[in-house]
Amino acid sequence: MGCEQADLMFARASDPVIASQQAVLFYLYSPELIALRAHLLGNGVKVSPISYPDYRPKGEIRVEDPDGYVLLIGQAE
């Protein structure tokens, strides 16, 4: 599913979604990852350092939401 610069992919879970099992993945993109990380840190949000995995060489951060779900945020191309 897409709209302008946003894409959203859905998949039906075969079992109940339990946050601690990470049965759901949230992957987001930011046009300014460094600035986003600084903003989140400045507002008291725990954010990982920027990592540079092979699949996202421009950078990626990890944030846990209050329910324990992991949000991965990558630098947009």
Domain ranges of the chain: 21-75
Categorize the per-residue pLDDT at 10 as very low, low, confident or very high, splitting at 50, 70 and 90: confident
Q: Which CATH architecture has domain 21-75?
A: Roll (3.10)
4-30 average pLDDT score: 74
pLDDT tens by residue, 19-68: 667 667 788 899 999 999 999 999 999 999 999 999 999 999 999 888 77
Task: Report the alpha-carbon distance of residue 36 to residue 9 in Å, rounded.
Answer: 23
User: Which pLDDT score, from 0 to 100, does residue 22 have?
Assistant: 63
Task: Report the alpha-carbon distance of residue 24 to residue 19 in Å, rounded.
Answer: 8
pLDDT of 8 over the 90 cut: no
